[in-house]
Amino acid sequence: MLSRIPCLISCARCKFAGQRRISPWFGRILQVQSLDFAAAEYSIPLRLESFQNLMQMESKMKTGYTLPDVTFHTRVRDESIEGPNPFRWEDKTTADYFAGKRVILFSLPGAFTPTCSTYQLPGFEKNAETFAANGIDAIYCMSVNDSFVMNKWAKSQDLKAVSVIPDGSGEFTRKVGMLVAKDNLGFGMRSWRYAAIVKDGVIEAWFEEPGLADNHGEDPYGVSSPETLLDYLAEEAKGVAAE
């Protein structure tokens, strides 16, 4: 019976990057170039529960969830390399950044963009000592930009405390359900703005800007600000002190 059930779905956020289509009948081929099985073709009939799981991928990173295992392709300085560009490729994994530490991760639509460069990134850098006093071991800024861009942005911001993570292909952002289209700005696929406190790779607190959507006409900012996270940590400290 499932092979004849029409897939008449007009979901608000079926973020299947690239090939955004669902076969109108389960008896055909479902082509997906996103989620945890990127660029795959799945022959149907497809079990109903499998389809339901596929549709539940958006916004899946909440308190208590484990970050996805991803390899990030970074460029690191190597003084043994001669010439004007002494950098080499170095792969880092989710575990390299998050294992055994309590950290802040915040992600934003793009390096060098106004809100990100004027408020969010400088705010986290400015408050780094206060975050450290509240039990934060590291602060990471992520964007769907390559390592060349992220390194240049970090240099232009004179970062000392915040480290940048290049999610160049958007794999991590896609797997946490935060990859959105920003074609209305000529950006392509980028990250929705969010922040999280992560302990040993597990989400302790999640701060997502409202209105998660493709081609959003605005850029909401406030929920994921450093001030919001500082307030959270302050309230947490009060609770611990009262025990």
Q: Which of 7, 11, 14, 116 is flagged as catalytic?
A: 116
7 included as an active-site residue: no
Phi-psi region at 231: left, alpha or beta (left = phi > 0; alpha = psi -120 to 50): alpha
Amino acid at 146: D
Residues 6+ apart with CB under 8 A from 47: 2
* Alpha carbon distance 217, 190 (integer Å): 14
First to last CA, the chain: 57
In 3D, which of 35, 31, 30 has the Cα closest to residue 15? 35
Burial track 197-230 (b if 16+ CB lie within 10 A, e otherwise): bbeebebbbbbbbeebebebeebeeeebbbeebb
* H-helix segments, 134-210: 147-156, 171-175
Active centre residues (catalytic)? 116
